[in-house]
Amino acid sequence: MVIVMEKHTTESNIERVMSELVARGFDVHRSTGSEQTVLGVVGDVAKIDTREFELFDGVQEVVRISEPYKLSSRTFRREKTIVKVRGVEIGGPEVVIMAGPCTIENERQVFETARRVARAGARVLRGGAYKPRTSPYAFQGMGVEGLKLLRAAADESRMATVSEVMEISQIEGMLPYVDILQVGARNMQNFNLLTALGQVRKPILLKRGMSATIQEWLLAAEYIMTGGNYDVILCERGIRTFETYTRNTLDISAIPVIEKLSHLPIIADPSHATGRRDKVMPLARAIIAAGADGVLIEVHHDPDKALCDGPQSLYPDQFARLMDELRIIVPAVGRRL
Amino acid sequence: MERADAEREIDRIRDAIDRVDEVIVRLLNQRAKYAIEIGEIKGVLGLPIYAPEREKDVLHHVEKTCEGPLDGHSMRRLFERIIDESRRIEREAATDNGQRTTEND
């Protein structure tokens, strides 16, 4: 951390800042310039609230150089984390495709969709049983009955399952059926939920909040990891921008940024980002080309009759075509499918 | 001066610089030993490690005794780093001698 003092500030102002730092056990590197003095702070500065020092008289700016997140950072762990679930390795050399319906609606829908996506090469079956809908009048999901269908369909097609958990009370009931618990964008900063998921010994798929910075996202992962659950998969799903043509703007740049900052696997969801089927395929290609560890895609066996997010769900044939395209891209970025 | 002579001359001066550096290192360590002694005393008495008045005196003193070719400001900047390290080593000595360290793991 660096503290930049105001130009021509008094010696006593500098001394007050230094006294406080030294009293707290930090080492200070003082550099007196002709006009401005800069203090380099060495030690465990992650615990410092920079505002405390910004409030000292004569302080112009406090700049953090090291990251406030620890467990999720590359500094803490150099080699990439590989999340293993039912024979699937997320974060390894293989790119993992997760696909399935937005919401579990009925037996025929989930089994049919599972068969089609598994045949095309998907390894993880997605499907929501508890749905965070913008409107309270929209379909809210099937609950545990839906999860049972998801599990059975995944078992038949030899896939792992991922489904969204919305609140702490749902966790226990989901564990028998769900291999990866998903935290949705709207819950990314639900710190009580994150803390509870830190106690679970199953992988967590943490979606980025639609207005969350990368730092806030990694700090959310930190909540889960401090509980001892290190199997966190990050999922970019689009952020709010001024553009209204697409629902959200998929932040492709977050993929290489996370790759540099964190050892956690990073995947992306092109379906929720755009909300439009015709935009999902090009974005899925871009996600893989950018180096993501996987993609999470909505596929419905009959999207025109879907109860939720039909317009963003791919037809099974489209999904199979996309998989063929991804098989061409994957070796170019040094991965396999 | 021939090129070969020039190179020999540079080598000779560089050797001299190495000898000077050895003396500087020895003296800096001598200075550090005094800082450790002070740190130990401060640790026992619970006195603050950071003594701004004393630091000011030290800088003033070296600036005053500096005869060049380095100017006073250059000498001050060099000594700021020396003081930074002395403060650190004093703190470590004081901590070993009973003073509680906070938030430094």
A-chain residues within 8 Å CB-CB of B82?
A: none
- Record the tokens describing residue A147, joined without a space: 């999860």
- Choice between B82 and A49, residue whose per-residue pLDDT is larger: B82
SS3 percent helix, strand, coil of chain A, rounded to 5, is: 40, 20, 40
Same-domain pairing of A146 and A200: yes
Same-domain pairing of A123 and A271: yes
pLDDT digits (tens, 9 = 90+) for B4-49: 999 999 999 999 999 999 999 999 999 999 999 999 999 999 899 9
pLDDT at B97 (0 to 100):
63
A45-64 residues touching B, CB cutoff 8 A: 47
Rg of chain A, C-alpha, whole Å: 23
Answer whether A141's CB lies under 8 Å from A104's CB: yes
Q: Looking at the domain assignment, is residue A77 inside a domain?
A: no
A-chain residues within 8 Å CB-CB of B103?
A: 24-26, 43-44, 47
Same-domain pairing of A157 and A50: no
Q: Report how far residue A32's alpha carbon sits from residue A272's, in angstroms, rounded to the nearest whole number.
A: 52
Cβ neighbours around A51 below 10 Å, total: 8
Parts of chain A with a pLDDT under 50: none
Mutate to test the interface with B, among A2, A3, A17, A22 (most CBs of B within 10 A): A22
Look at B87 and A32 and tell me if their CB atoms are within 8 Å.
Answer: no
Cβ neighbours around B88 below 10 Å, total: 21
Domain that holds residue A48: 2-63
Q: Is A207 helix (H, G, I), strand (E, B) or coil?
A: strand
Q: How confident is the model at residue B102 (pLDDT cuts 50, 70, 90)?
A: very low
- The alpha carbon of residue B13 is apart from the nearest alpha carbon of chain A, in Å, by 30
- In three-state form (DSSP H/G/I as H, E/B as E, the rest C), the secondary structure along chain B is CCHHHHHHHHHHHHHHHHHHHHHHHHHHHHHHHHHHHHHHHHHHHCCCCCCHHHHHHHHHHHHHHCCCCCCHHHHHHHHHHHHHHHHHHHHHHHHHCCCCCCCCC
Same-domain pairing of A16 and A138: no
A-chain residues within 8 Å CB-CB of B80?
A: 30-32
- Record the tokens describing residue B20, joined without a space: 């000077």
Q: Report how far residue B88's alpha carbon sits from residue B100's, in angstroms, rounded to the nearest whole number.
A: 14
pLDDT digits (tens, 9 = 90+) for A133-169: 778 888 778 899 999 999 999 999 999 999 999 999 9
Q: The domain B3-96 is classified under which CATH number: 3.40.50.2300, 1.20.59.10, 3.40.640.10, 3.40.225.10?
A: 1.20.59.10
pLDDT over 50 at B105, yes or no:
no
Place of tokens 């001598």: B30
What's A167's domain CATH number? Answer: 3.20.20.70
- Determine phi and psi for A204, rounding to 5 degrees: -115, 130
Structural domains of chain A, count: 2
- Choice between A47 and B78, residue whose per-residue pLDDT is larger: B78
A-chain residues within 8 Å CB-CB of B102?
A: 23-25
pLDDT digits (tens, 9 = 90+) for A15-57: 999 999 998 989 898 888 878 999 999 888 878 888 999 999 9
The closest CB to that of B76, out of A28, A32, A47, belongs to: A32
pLDDT at B98 (0 to 100):
52
Q: Report how far residue A180's alpha carbon sits from residue A235's, in angstroms, rounded to the nearest whole number.
A: 13
Q: Is A118 helix (H, G, I), strand (E, B) or coil?
A: helix
Cβ neighbours of residue A259 under 8 Å, at least 6 residues apart?
Answer: A266, A291
pLDDT at A306 (0 to 100):
83
Same-domain pairing of A252 and A116: yes
pLDDT at A253 (0 to 100):
97
Same-domain pairing of A31 and A149: no
Same-domain pairing of A176 and A55: no
Same-domain pairing of A307 and A268: yes
B-chain residues within 8 Å CB-CB of A27?
A: 84, 87-88, 91
pLDDT at B31 (0 to 100):
96
Same-domain pairing of A207 and A90: yes
- Choice between B99 and A74, residue whose per-residue pLDDT is larger: A74
pLDDT at A132 (0 to 100):
73
Q: Looking at the domain assignment, is residue A337 inside a domain?
A: no
Answer whether A25's CB lies under 8 Å from A64's CB: no
Average pLDDT of B57-76? Answer: 91
Mutate to test the interface with A, among B47, B49, B50, B56 (most CBs of A within 10 A): B50
pLDDT at A97 (0 to 100):
98
Q: Looking at the domain assignment, is residue A70 inside a domain?
A: no
Among chain B residues, CA nearest to A20: B50
